[in-house]
Amino acid sequence: MKISTAEIKMLIKECVGSCGIYTAADFGNYISLNSGKDFTRSQISGALAQLVDTKDIVRVGRGLYSKDAKSISNRSAISRNETENKLQKEIYDALSKVEKDLAKVTGSINIWELDGENFEIVAKIRGLKKSIEEIKSQCN
């Protein structure tokens, strides 16, 4: 049995109900799973054109569709936040490792026995430790 274009449009609107960007192939898969009826690519193309014309869905690029422009920007904001959080975690972990390595190296040093040059280096490392702590606190 063949599905009508009206049923296809209804199923496409259901499919884009969740935020995201979809292709005609995504809609075809969704229609197959949820209707069990036969359809053609032309029917999907026609339904998509009608839904775009009535502003039920938005064409975001060639062959790409979404519920609305707002859902696209929300999705990209979520993706951007995930990327930023991942970066912050990676920076935090890297700085923690640097802190541990510096503690190993400087932990056994007796500062009273250092000459001027080495004392300056140890003083700079302490300043670096404070900077690392500040950066790590921003990452949390």
Residues 6+ away with beta carbon under 8 Å from 37: 1, 2, 3, 7, 31
Which structure tokens are listed for 75? 């999705």
What is the three-class DSSP state of 38? strand
Using alpha carbons only, how large is the chain's radius of gyration in Å? 29
Residues in CB range of 88: below 8 A, 6 or more apart? 138, 139, 140
Strands of the 58-61 sheet, one edge to the other = 21-22, 64-66, 58-61
Cut 0.75: pTM above it:
no
| pLDDT per residue of the chain (140 residues) written in tens, 0 to 9 | 788 888 989 998 888 877 678 888 888 888 888 888 888 889 999 999 999 999 888 888 888 888 876 655 555 555 566 667 788 888 888 888 988 888 887 777 777 777 888 888 888 888 888 888 888 888 87
